[in-house]
Chain A
């Protein structure tokens, strides 16, 4: 065994641990690869460390992933750009492992390194690597190859470029669908580097093949290619070559492909430009909105607002709006829900009159939907309509919808509506709120589910912030304090919770005059849980009220509690007393 000088000892351990049995230690060493490299020096890193790593490709995936990442930034440690090529062999072997995330990271790192390499090195070592991977025996290598063509292509000779293009076209026709998928998803990237003459002649041919692939999974990746290639082509070529493909895809046999079109619609519209959008994509989109498959309609419905922004209001009203009306009573609740989440955004696009004429009936029917998510989605976007037509037209329908949601039997629905109450309050204004919603807010405080009671208490605080202490004093505080005599201790406890949240908003005076007497009274409760919550609450009130109140009222109350028979009550009382002493000491 070799002995190592003391200062190097930690590094020696790191190096040894590259081969430790414990994966955590190996991982640790791999993450410190740069430290090891620095210690070894550039030359030994190139001649020993990198070859060592190259043979390490049967390690655990986590270690390989870390290695792939580290190697991506390793150029400085091997002696700079001129030696960048020595990093290629270990990454090449990482490109062939079967774990997808390792391969992807290795491809990333190869791209990083390749884009920094000198042109001669690129031709001498990077391009051959691409060719080797592309001709790999196993599909994993060929999949990885697809992701690095765009780096190799830039800055290599014309002869090599021709070869690379034909290699890529072979990958597009590979036997393995995995390879064709990789080729399809990287085609856009590769196309950005290819000269425009070959774009039409060769890349588009590959693309056409992919769009006709038997495998749905390949065709649906080609949909993204439409957007990517469309941006590279001249407008007239795009119309001639891409547009028919999009229109075909929108009528594909497979719903997954149509779903992709619906999902990518905005990007596709951008690619073909506004004129073609109006003439060709509007009919395609209308078809998608009326698709047989609910999943497709969900995706399409979610894009309604974004799509209408590309059109003028007349076209939207003429073509899209009839579909929107149909969708608002779609058989699938998820379709209606998707529509409800975006439809409010159409109001600013259509303007006030059209919104009142066309959209309002849809809003109202969605507000009465049997599925709570639909109603919630409408309510959550209320502000967008408020700006255009005001709230009055909606308020008649709004209230029953809110009340119904507030009493929904699923507590998550109740929770969701409580969280929108502050938004509603700000939109609807004080007057509306007083009459209708106040009672609901109190009702939630006594809900059967703790999360609802907790959210209700928090809601009171947010309302007090919204409308100010004076209003809260009138409309919230008396009702809350009434509950302190509730026979159920959990409800009494909720009063304490509400007080602790509202006190900072309401300020010292109200806290002393209104809250404190109630709290002191509660300290004599028969349930220990109430009593120690009083102790905790009193502690939280200390910074809010005057020192004199602390000394006079709070301290006495806590002293009484600290002699309570219950151990928990005594514990929290003493903690509160300590904090009083702490603050007093700090002040003096």
Chain B
């Protein structure tokens, strides 16, 4: 395997393990402060340039952050001088604006409540200095434009508003054929007409919903993804994937339909879908059975047959009740150049080469120590938690979340043994206690996986201390720097290296 072709020139030797530092936190919880359900972050996404970051929450809000050092280079020089001990400037963000993207609804035909929770956010092409993004809840996708609008003050009007009421003249004038004969007879009158003068003061970002793509999904939408052609995007629910043109919101094309003729025969659902970053005709989707399918839109209109199937070869060891549940892929992400694909299932993070469908290039154990506890996890439904994953812009590292607000970063380039466990707090390395992996005794059946990264967090043997309620599901890697944004309940933590 050669991941070298995806390497972007980095300032330091890219193969050296990174030292992660805390950068920023937004919405930090004070001691004893209770988290409001609606404030819990449910989606995080950087835009292509990395100058903006969006988060969505369970309350249907989208919050935008902008990079503070992106626009004002003059201010940056002074900072550089001040912070000479930090030769590398890391991205810093500030709150830009927020808006209510989705509201709770009720589907009267199906007697179903539709939550306002934002499931996914995707950034679109920037145009005219305005930001564009797609956001979706379970059923409805919305296209937003966020633009700085000047606050306007209009003065120098022709008529006194009070006079309009006073003399009872019709408010909206009406002409026949647009003719105004009396104007010609009173040249002095013409000069008394004035155009309103608009004076603008400061500007503030305003979000406007430009399009609503609704009524195309019978099941809950789990993914949206823009196509590289700039005019289409996909939306995936449990059984179908639809293709939309950004401009057309009243029709979409069904491109994948895995719904069996009889619902009793249902054995597999779609869990995530993403377009290839550069090839407009390619998309990948993952399933609850642990497989990832690559689709070529050129082959046919309804892509029920895949062009490539990526599956872990059948394990030799004994199968348990949980084998299939933990095989379910919760998230897939293409690396920037589109050759590698990252996938996350309950226990592992896997890297695939789309030219090699015999098995993953590498497998990383995320929380191997949970293996004996699957029963408990099943009891409290944690086993169905959908952890996201992300890959760095240079394709050298990947990150994914875990319980107790921990997240793990792995070096995915060949030969790398880098592996770090961080906690989403002001002191990310607090829990970072690398413990050499125990010789596999009881767990001998899983030795086929690459065993690096099997370090356990916290104090070994004391993993009961793990808090299943504080799980870090959502995180995103900055597109061109080593910076990670992750969500711990209602707080957004950012780290850099």
Whether chains A and B associate is yes
Q: Is A32 an interface residue (CB 8 A)?
A: yes
Q: How far is the CA of A7 from the CA of B281 in the complex (A)?
A: 63
Q: A8-B186, A38-B183, A294-B301 are in contact. Are A18 and B195 (CB under 8 A)?
A: yes
B158 contacts A16, C-beta separation under 8 Å? yes
B194 contacts A293, C-beta separation under 8 Å? no
Q: How far is the CA of A322 from the CA of B202 in the complex (A)?
A: 72
Question: Which chain B residue has the least Cβ–Cβ distance from A28?
Answer: B172
B159 contacts A32, C-beta separation under 8 Å? no
Q: A35-B175, A39-B193, A52-B195 are in contact. Are A13 and B164 (CB under 8 A)?
A: yes
Q: How far is the CA of A13 from the CA of B170 in the complex (A)?
A: 10
Among B79-87, B227-235, B316-324, B487-495, the stretch that binds chain A is B227-235
Q: Which of A1-19 touch B at CB < 8 Å?
A: 1-5, 7-19
Q: Is A189 an interface residue (CB 8 A)?
A: no
Contact partner of A2 (CB less than 8 A), chosen from B188, B192, B247, B300, is B192
Q: How far is the CB of A310 from chain B (nearest CB, A)?
A: 28
B230 contacts A177, C-beta separation under 8 Å? yes
The residues of B that contact A48 with a CB separation of less than 8 Å are 195
Among B29-37, B122-130, B378-386, the stretch that binds chain A is B122-130
Q: How many pairs of A and B residues are in contact by the CB < 8 Å rule?
A: 159
Q: How far is the CB of B46 from chain A (nearest CB, A)?
A: 20
Q: Is A381 an interface residue (CB 8 A)?
A: no
The residues of B that contact A28 with a CB separation of less than 8 Å are 172
Q: Is A360 an interface residue (CB 8 A)?
A: no
Q: Which of B80-129 touch A at CB < 8 Å?
A: 125-129
Central interface residue in A9, A28, A32, by most chain B CB within 10 Å = A9
Q: A4-B192, A96-B128 are in contact. Are A13 and B186 (CB under 8 A)?
A: no
Q: Is B182 an interface residue (CB 8 A)?
A: yes
Q: Which of A26-47 touch B at CB < 8 Å?
A: 28, 32, 34-35, 38-41, 44
Q: A19-B154, A25-B172, A32-B175 are in contact. Are A97 and B229 (CB under 8 A)?
A: no
Contact partner of B196 (CB less than 8 A), chosen from A11, A15, A38, A58, is A15
As a 0/1 sequence over residues 535 to 570 of chain A, the CB contacts with chain B under 8 angstroms (1 = contact) are 000000000000000000000000000000000000
Q: Is A430 an interface residue (CB 8 A)?
A: no
Q: Is A217 an interface residue (CB 8 A)?
A: yes
Q: How far is the CB of A287 from chain B (nearest CB, A)?
A: 16
B190 contacts A215, C-beta separation under 8 Å? no
A253 contacts B298, C-beta separation under 8 Å? yes
The residues of B that contact A255 with a CB separation of less than 8 Å are 298-301
The residues of B that contact A11 with a CB separation of less than 8 Å are 173, 180, 183, 193
As a 0/1 sequence over residues 478 to 512 of chain A, the CB contacts with chain B under 8 angstroms (1 = contact) are 00000000000000000000000000000000000
Q: A11-B173, A13-B159, A15-B194 are in contact. Are A177 and B231 (CB under 8 A)?
A: yes
Q: Is B160 an interface residue (CB 8 A)?
A: yes
The residues of A that contact B178 with a CB separation of less than 8 Å are 32, 34-35, 38
Q: Is A301 an interface residue (CB 8 A)?
A: no
Q: Is A288 an interface residue (CB 8 A)?
A: no
Contact partner of B231 (CB less than 8 A), chosen from A41, A217, A254, is A217
Q: Is A413 an interface residue (CB 8 A)?
A: no
Q: How far is the CA of A254 from the CA of B230 in the complex (A)?
A: 18
Question: Which chain A residue has the least Cβ–Cβ distance from B126?
Answer: A138
**Interface residue count for B (Cβ, 8 Å)?**
56
As a 0/1 sequence over residues 136 to 153 of chain B, the CB contacts with chain A under 8 angstroms (1 = contact) are 000000000101011010
Q: Is B189 an interface residue (CB 8 A)?
A: yes
B128 contacts A140, C-beta separation under 8 Å? yes
B158 contacts A13, C-beta separation under 8 Å? yes
The residues of B that contact A2 with a CB separation of less than 8 Å are 156-158, 192, 194
Question: Which chain B residue has the least Cβ–Cβ distance from A295?
Answer: B301
Place the interface of chain A in its size category. 35 or more
B281 contacts A293, C-beta separation under 8 Å? no
A98 contacts B145, C-beta separation under 8 Å? yes
Q: Is A216 an interface residue (CB 8 A)?
A: yes
Q: Is A161 an interface residue (CB 8 A)?
A: no
The residues of A that contact B354 with a CB separation of less than 8 Å are none
Q: How far is the CA of A52 from the CA of B159 in the complex (A)?
A: 18
Q: How far is the CB of A108 from chain B (nearest CB, A)?
A: 17
The residues of B that contact A99 with a CB separation of less than 8 Å are 210
The residues of B that contact A25 with a CB separation of less than 8 Å are 172
Q: Is A358 an interface residue (CB 8 A)?
A: no
Q: How far is the CB of A218 from chain B (nearest CB, A)?
A: 8
Q: A15-B195, A177-B231, A216-B281 are in contact. Are A39 and B183 (CB under 8 A)?
A: yes
Q: Is A176 an interface residue (CB 8 A)?
A: yes
Q: Is B12 an interface residue (CB 8 A)?
A: no
Q: How far is the CA of A254 from the CA of B280 in the complex (A)?
A: 11
The residues of A that contact B164 with a CB separation of less than 8 Å are 13
Q: How far is the CB of A58 from chain B (nearest CB, A)?
A: 7
Question: Which chain B residue has the least Cβ–Cβ distance from A58?
Answer: B149
Q: Is B435 an interface residue (CB 8 A)?
A: no
Q: Is A396 an interface residue (CB 8 A)?
A: no
Question: Which chain B residue has the least Cβ–Cβ distance from A48?
Answer: B195
The residues of B that contact A100 with a CB separation of less than 8 Å are 247
Q: A98-B127, A292-B300, A293-B300 are in contact. Are A16 and B157 (CB under 8 A)?
A: yes
Q: Is A231 an interface residue (CB 8 A)?
A: no
Q: Is A317 an interface residue (CB 8 A)?
A: no
B127 contacts A138, C-beta separation under 8 Å? yes
Q: A32-B175, A176-B230, A293-B300 are in contact. Are A254 and B281 (CB under 8 A)?
A: yes
The residues of A that contact B192 with a CB separation of less than 8 Å are 2-5, 8
Q: How far is the CA of A13 from the CA of B172 in the complex (A)?
A: 7
Q: Which of B244-299 touch A at CB < 8 Å?
A: 247, 279-281, 297-299
Q: A13-B172, A98-B145, A254-B281 are in contact. Are A19 and B183 (CB under 8 A)?
A: no
As a 0/1 sequence over residues 299 to 311 of chain B, the CB contacts with chain A under 8 angstroms (1 = contact) are 1110000000000
The residues of B that contact A292 with a CB separation of less than 8 Å are 299-300
Q: Which of A274-318 touch B at CB < 8 Å?
A: 292-295
The residues of A that contact B299 with a CB separation of less than 8 Å are 255, 292-293
Shortest 9 CB-CB distances between A and B: which pairs?
A10-B173, A12-B158, A254-B298, A7-B182, A1-B160, A5-B189, A98-B127, A8-B189, A19-B196
A-B contact pairs, 9 of them (CB 8 A): A1-B159, A8-B189, A11-B180, A12-B158, A16-B157, A28-B172, A48-B195, A52-B196, A255-B299
17 extra A-B contacts, CB within 8 A, seeds A1-B159, A254-B298, A256-B298: A2-B192, A7-B183, A8-B186, A10-B175, A11-B193, A13-B159, A17-B172, A19-B198, A38-B183, A39-B183, A41-B190, A98-B130, A176-B125, A177-B230, A178-B230, A215-B280, A292-B299
